Amino acid sequence: MLKPKKKISKREIKEDKLVTSYFEATTWYQANKKIVNGVLTGIVILAVVSVVYMNNVSLNDTKATSELGKISPYYDQGKYEVAINGNLQDNVRGLQAIVDDYGSTKAGELATFYLANCYFAQADYDKALKYFLDVDVSNELISVSSIAGAAACYEAQGNYEKAASTFEKAAFKYAKDVNAADNMFHAAKNYLLAGSKEKAAELFKKIKKDHQTAAIARDIDRWIAEASS
């Protein structure tokens, strides 16, 4: 007579599943050993690359800071051509080279802002706009100045609607910016040039209300009248 089969307990089922999973895993590993080892090697390499990358970023920022310090006097003196291209005779690299090589570093971002200003001073508004838009800094004042710089480029190109909205963005981005009233005025003026009188009047009135002590507010009633006519 056949003995009844012993019922498998839940514990045994769990243990059996663990054993099965183990053998499945080891079998899969043997079959895919190269792939697994490749992935593990890749993880190790990625970790090493990350450390090297951070060290390189720090080193590049130091280099960019040093080179920016050498070229800054030319920028301060208004020698924009030299500031852009450098002084080869004195082995001083220009802002363009610094931005090209170290643009992603903190010092490189500041160099990008200076480079944009140089091109704007030379009336090269296409290049100035490109680099103003490329500026990505944590400093709010420089960030606002970059936005306003881009707006000024749009205005110089005759794109008044875009200039207006960009100046407006600069005006409201950082409330403590000393140029907030000026940026708001330029936004309103460009809205006026673009034919958006209602929007222009709104901003002119806001200047009168919120920036009464600003120099730009002295003749604001005349501008309000112009936008309201």
61 and 106, same domain (yes or no): yes
- Please say which residue of 134, 157, 176 terminates a domain: 134
Q: Is residue 206 part of a domain?
A: yes
**Contact assessment for residue 94 and residue 83, using Cβ atoms and an 8 Å cutoff:** yes
Q: CB under 8 Å to 23, separation ≥6 — which residues?
A: none
157 and 119, same domain (yes or no): no
117 and 169, same domain (yes or no): no
> What 8-state DSSP symbol labels residue 93?
E
90 and 188, same domain (yes or no): no
42 and 129, same domain (yes or no): yes
Indicate if the pLDDT at residue 19 is higher than 70.
no
25 and 113, same domain (yes or no): yes
Q: How do residues 60-95 score in pLDDT, each as one tens digit? A: 778 888 888 898 999 999 999 999 999 988 999 999
- Please say which residue of 134, 160, 190 terminates a domain: 134
Q: Is residue 72 part of a domain?
A: yes
Indicate if the pLDDT at residue 59 is higher than 70.
yes
**Averaged pLDDT for residues 175-203:** 92
| β-pair partners for 93 | 86
Measured in residues, the chain has a length of 229
Q: What is the Cα–Cα distance from 69 to 223, expressed in whole angstroms?
A: 43
Q: CB under 8 Å to 157, separation ≥6 — which residues?
A: 125, 129
Q: Which two tokens stand for residue 7?
A: 């019922």
- Please say which residue of 134, 153, 184 terminates a domain: 134
60 and 37, same domain (yes or no): yes
Which of 166, 219, 227, 220 lies closest to 195 in space, CA to CA?
A: 227
100 and 178, same domain (yes or no): no
127 and 142, same domain (yes or no): no
Q: What is the Cα–Cα distance from 209 to 229, expressed in whole angstroms?
A: 20
Indicate if the pLDDT at residue 8 is higher than 90.
no
Tally of structural domains, the chain: 2
180-193 vs 197-210: helix axis angle to the nearest 10?
160
Q: Is residue 179 part of a domain?
A: yes
Q: Is residue 12 part of a domain?
A: no
Most confident of 21-35, 94-108, 190-204: 190-204
Q: Is residue 204 part of a domain?
A: yes
Q: Is residue 3 part of a domain?
A: no
Q: What is the Cα–Cα distance from 144 to 172, expressed in whole angstroms?
A: 9
CATH code of residue 185: 1.25.40.10
113 and 198, same domain (yes or no): no
Burial of 22 (0-12, 13-18, 19+ CB in 10 A): exposed
Domain hosting residue 167, numbered range: 138-229
CB count within 10 Å of CB 160 equals: 18
Q: How confident is the model at residue 35 (pLDDT cuts 50, 70, 90)?
A: very low
Q: Is residue 5 part of a domain?
A: no
Q: Is residue 9 part of a domain?
A: no
**Averaged pLDDT for residues 202-225:** 92
Q: How confident is the model at residue 195 (pLDDT cuts 50, 70, 90)?
A: very high
165 and 78, same domain (yes or no): no
> What 8-state DSSP symbol labels residue 77?
T
157 and 99, same domain (yes or no): no
Q: How confident is the model at residue 56 (pLDDT cuts 50, 70, 90)?
A: low
Strands 86-87 and 92-93: antiparallel
